[in-house]
């Protein structure tokens, strides 16, 4: 087990004076050389088994090197022998839970909820509430079948399995004589083996070359881009003063079958733990875990966006829907868009449990995968190579070694996966009012509360593709980037409500449903006129009807999305009254429309009301009611552009936004 392979619980480091504890033990603990500290303190305990401080620091060393189950007897003796510490009751409770002693854990959590430290109080309250859910999870029916992957596992640690192009990649501490002082076990390297599904050819197991695996560093969790040519992995914990004190994310590219020299990603936070990376299925996002400041708990899951040139930017915390006051790590995005991850901050059996987060009716629902996938030990690092089967890691009792890799099959007879996608093209009218492709458009998919779910930038073909979900309403927002010509930011609604596939009729395990749409952006030109459809008024009246308000709301959105434009809103009538009457009526209608728009929060300085009466008939001498309706129209005209700065391609400074990574073609 290594800090790279497991979540390092970041408890307070207690520096003790001599006080009967040897300098070597104390110094080792300070340097996070936890196995050395354990060995030194055990020397003291061999002579004085009731030494409270020695027991406490052995317990802390086991906990902080991710062996909390082994910390239990030492926390007990520390407590019995008078050690008083705000964290003791909480961590003792967590060790009890890791050993399946939930009733005793409840007693300790009650004590932990009396401390003044807000951070530990919050965690204790969270864990206490979680205990009430354990019985419910135990009773949950599922159809998972689990088996130890004996062909891969050894008496060392094997963890974080990932399938890529007929090969199984994983991390292991086998076969290395050099010892990592944090755990007292060998440093971990990344290995691979040929496999067909879960049938691994053990004869092909081999470490990656020295470009990836260092002699005195831990190489851990790995992920691959969809094309398999970009690898991101965790690396760190050299234990040397000039080495990498923490774990960081590194990137390597496959050039003609050879991995390039790894480089540290710009999204790392120096001095903090960044690990367990996972690409989204489209490769546009990288998920990872970090204990950087500002999170919800001790370790949180984050995401970073990846542009078309392979550069990472815009790191975001996944928020309290996913992250807890505890440790949340080892994210994985399945082909059906679900987020799998491990957490010790949610209701579970002890240690890290595996969870899945699904988007249901616009909300995120998180579910414990239950037994036998989860156990009282640490269960983490899941990866699905098919919709109903995959791999994960556990250090449960009965394994071959430290962490072991397991396979699982979901035998749920009703399991049917439906993937929904919205595909579209960004376009604009040409000089003849025919649609043509408009490239270089930033398209955002928003939920109906305005939160950005996904985004993409179209290239020469103007195409974009987003995953969508059943029973949801969306907004698409398109904004043209750069260039000499400016376009209105455009917003279109889309819904999957009433469009879900009938699962009872599906015969395949996985079904894909695609919806098509167009996103049309209008060029911004002074004096350009746009007709507002369906703006109707009662006969000889100018009050805004409810149906007219709905249409005017669309103009409000245009003005809100494009704050740099000033418009004239004009009203036109047919010619079935006198000129003077029609002019007064149209002016009042235009004013009513402007007043309504102002009431929705748009500044009146951006609006001019103008009534034209019957002076600009589109169909002179109209005969039918339909022709008269064409003449009775409401329009808006762009009068002026504001100060909005749109960067031209040669003005855009990518260095301000992206790191200096190479793209997959080797170009900057």
CATH code linked to domain 23-138: 1.25.40.10
Query: Per-residue DSSP letters for 226-287?
Result: TTS-EEEEEEE---STTS-SSEEEEEEEEETTEEPPPEE-TT--TTS-EEEEEE-TTSSEEE
Beta carbons within 8 Å of 580's beta carbon, 6+ residues apart: none
Query: What does the pLDDT look like over 341-373, one tens digit per residue?
Result: 999 999 999 889 999 999 988 889 999 999 999
One fold for both 417-520 and 529-641? no
390 DSSP β-pair partners: 384, 408
Measuring CA to CA, which residue among 250, 245, 223 is closest to residue 235?
250
To the question of domain 144-410 being in CATH 3.40.50.970, the answer is no
Residue 536 buriedness (CB in 10 A; 0-12 / 13-18 / 19+): exposed
Tokens, residue 339: 């987020």
Question: Residue 327 has what DSSP assignment?
Answer: B
- Count of CB atoms situated within 10 Å of the CB of 146: 17
> What CA–CA distance (Å, rounded) separates 380 from 392?
6
CATH topology of domain 529-641: 60s Ribosomal Protein L30; Chain: A; (3.30.1330)
Collapsing DSSP to helix, strand or coil, 29 comes out as: helix
Tokens, residue 336: 């059906």
> What CA–CA distance (Å, rounded) separates 208 from 248?
18
- For residue 58, the model assigns a pLDDT of 94
What is the separation of C-alpha 55 from the centre of its chain, rounded to a whole number of angstroms?
40
Cis peptide before 372 (omega within 30 of 0): yes
Long-range CB contacts (< 8 A, 24+ apart) of 16-21?
16/53, 16/57, 19/53, 20/44, 20/51, 20/53, 21/53, 21/54, 21/57
333 DSSP β-pair partners: 339
Domain ranges of the chain: 23-138, 144-410, 417-520, 529-641
> Domain 417-520 has what CATH class?
mainly beta
Average pLDDT, the chain: 87
Query: Per-residue DSSP letters for 436-493?
Result: EE--SEEEEEEETTS-EEEEEE--TT-EEEEEE-TT-EEEEEEEE-SSSS-B--EEEE
From the DSSP assignment, how many helices (H) and strands (E) are in the chain? 11, 36
What residue ranges of the chain have pLDDT lower than 50? 1-20, 241-244, 644-668
- For residue 178, the model assigns a pLDDT of 84
Query: What does the pLDDT look like over 508-528, one tens digit per residue?
Result: 999 999 999 999 999 888 888
Measuring CA to CA, which residue among 218, 215, 156 is closest to residue 182?
218
Query: What does the pLDDT look like over 619-667, one tens digit per residue?
Result: 888 888 788 877 878 888 999 876 544 333 333 333 333 334 444 433 3
Angle in degrees, CA 431, 435, 436, rounded to 5: 90
- Count of CB atoms situated within 10 Å of the CB of 436: 11
Per DSSP bridges, beta strands 158-164 and 167-172 are antiparallel
Per DSSP bridges, beta strands 389-394 and 441-447 are unpaired
CB 212 within 8 A of CB 259: yes
Which position has the token pair 């728009």? 597
Q: What are phi and psi of 599, to 5 degrees?
A: -65, -20
Beta carbons within 8 Å of 536's beta carbon, 6+ residues apart: 545, 547, 548
Collapsing DSSP to helix, strand or coil, 40 comes out as: helix
- For residue 367, the model assigns a pLDDT of 96
- For residue 389, the model assigns a pLDDT of 96
- For residue 207, the model assigns a pLDDT of 95
């Amino acid at each position: 087990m290594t800090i790279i392979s497991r979540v390092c619980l970041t408890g307070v480091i207690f520096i003790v004076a001599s006080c009967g504890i040897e300098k070597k033990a104390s110094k080792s603990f300070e340097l996070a050389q936890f196995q050395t500290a354990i060995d030194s303190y055990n020397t003291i305990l061999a002579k004085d088994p009731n030494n409270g401080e020695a027991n406490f620091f052995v317990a802390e060393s086991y906990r902080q090197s991710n062996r909390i189950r082994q910390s239990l007897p030492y926390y007990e003796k520390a407590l019995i022998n008078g050690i008083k510490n705000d964290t003791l009751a909480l961590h003792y409770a967590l060790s009890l839970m890791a050993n399946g002693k939930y009733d005793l854990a409840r007693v300790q959590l009650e004590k932990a909820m009396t401390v003044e430290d807000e951070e530990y109080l919050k965690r204790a309250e969270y864990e206490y509430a979680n205990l009430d859910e354990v019985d419910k999870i135990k009773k949950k029916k599922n159809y998972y079948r689990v088996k130890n992957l004996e062909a891969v596992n050894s008496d060392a640690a094997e963890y974080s399995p990932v399938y890529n192009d007929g090969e199984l990649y994983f991390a292991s501490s086998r076969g290395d004589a050099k010892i990592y002082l944090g755990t007292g076990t060998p440093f971990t390297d990344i290995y691979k083996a040929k496999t067909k599904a879960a049938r691994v050819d053990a004869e092909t197991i081999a470490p990656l070359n020295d470009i990836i695996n260092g002699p005195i560093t831990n190489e851990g969790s790995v992920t691959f881009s969809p094309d398999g040519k970009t690898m991101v992995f965790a690396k760190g914990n050299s234990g040397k003063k000039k080495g990498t004190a923490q774990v960081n994310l590194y990137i390597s590219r496959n050039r003609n079958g050879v991995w390039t020299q790894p480089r540290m990603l710009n999204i790392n936070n120096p001095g903090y733990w960044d690990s367990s990376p996972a690409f989204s299925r489209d490769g546009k996002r990288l998920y990872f875990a970090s204990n950087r400041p500002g999170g919800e708990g001790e370790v949180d899951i984050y995401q970073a966006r990846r542009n078309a040139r392979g550069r990472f930017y815009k790191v975001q915390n996944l928020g309290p829907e996913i992250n807890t006051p505890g440790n949340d790590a080892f994210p994985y995005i399945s082909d059906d868009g679900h987020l799998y991850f491990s957490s010790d901050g949610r209701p579970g059996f002890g240690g890290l449990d595996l969870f899945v987060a699904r988007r249901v009716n616009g909300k995120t629902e998180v579910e414990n995968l239950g037994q036998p996938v989860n156990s009282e030990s640490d269960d983490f690092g899941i990866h699905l190579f098919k919709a109903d089967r995959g791999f994960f890691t556990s250090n449960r009792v009965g394994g071959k070694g430290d962490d072991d890799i397991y396979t699982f099959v979901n035998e749920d007879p009703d399991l049917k996966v439906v993937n929904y996608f919205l595909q579209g093209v960004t376009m604009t009218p040409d000089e003849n009012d025919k649609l043509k492709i408009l490239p270089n458009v930033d398209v955002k998919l928003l939920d109906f509360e305005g939160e950005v779910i996904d985004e993409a930038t179209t290239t020469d073909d103007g195409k974009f593709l987003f995953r969508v979900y059943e029973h949801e309403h969306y907004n698409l927002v398109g904004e043209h980037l750069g260039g000499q010509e400016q376009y209105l930011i455009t917003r279109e609604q889309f819904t999957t409500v009433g469009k879900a596939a009938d699962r009872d009729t599906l015969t395949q395990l996985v079904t894909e449903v695609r919806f098509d749409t167009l996103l049309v952006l209008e060029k911004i030109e002074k004096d350009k006129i746009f007709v507002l459809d369906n703006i109707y008024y009662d006969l000889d009246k100018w009050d805004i009807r409810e149906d007219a308000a709905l249409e005017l709301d669309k103009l409000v959105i245009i003005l809100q999305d494009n704050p740099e434009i000033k418009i004239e809103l004009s009203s036109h009538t047919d010619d079935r009254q006198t000129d003077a009457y029609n002019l007064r009526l149209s002016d009042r209608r235009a004013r009513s429309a402007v007043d309504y728009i102002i009431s929705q929060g748009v500044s009146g300085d951006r609006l001019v009301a103008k009534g034209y009466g019957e002076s600009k008939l589109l169909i002179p001498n109209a005969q039918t009611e339909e022709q008269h309706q064409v003449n009775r129209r409401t329009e808006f005209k762009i009068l002026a552009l504001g100060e909005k700065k749109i960067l031209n391609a040669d003005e855009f400074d990518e260095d301000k936004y992206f790191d200096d990574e190479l793209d997959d073609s080797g170009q900057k």
